[in-house]
Amino acid sequence: MIDEKIVWSQPILILSNAWESDEINDWNGAVEIDNEAGNIKAPFFIAGKKEEVIENGQSTNRLTGLVIGDLEKASVASGTGIYGFYQG
């Protein structure tokens, strides 16, 4: 805070101890949809919009958005994290 005004907000909560979450501990790494608990678990998520673009007579699908999770399973990169695309 500067002069009683918020100048930075961090919306991401990072826990160093995953053992305190039964949801994480019980998950086997496969896709699970739990309507009662209101959650979806998956190795990765893709959020954004797709556009079909014709270039040089060929159709390409472009993603503007994020891939979050196991980037290797998403065929994006190696590691785990957040990867952003702009018309990629």
- Dump pLDDT digits (tens) for 16-39: 666 677 777 788 889 999 899 888
Quick one: pLDDT at residue 83?
82
CA distances from 34 to 24, 30, 46, 47 (A): 13, 13, 19, 19
Its domain, for residue 81, covers 18-85
Task: For residue 23, tell me if it sits in a domain.
Answer: yes
| pLDDT tens column, 49-74 | 988 888 788 778 888 888 888 888 87
Quick one: pLDDT at residue 6?
63
Task: For residue 11, tell me if it sits in a domain.
Answer: no
| pLDDT tens column, 41-54 | 998 888 999 888 88
Quick one: pLDDT at residue 52?
83
Task: For residue 13, tell me if it sits in a domain.
Answer: no
Task: Give the residue among 57, 24, 58, 54 at the shortest CA–CA distance from 41.
Answer: 24
Task: For residue 37, tell me if it sits in a domain.
Answer: yes
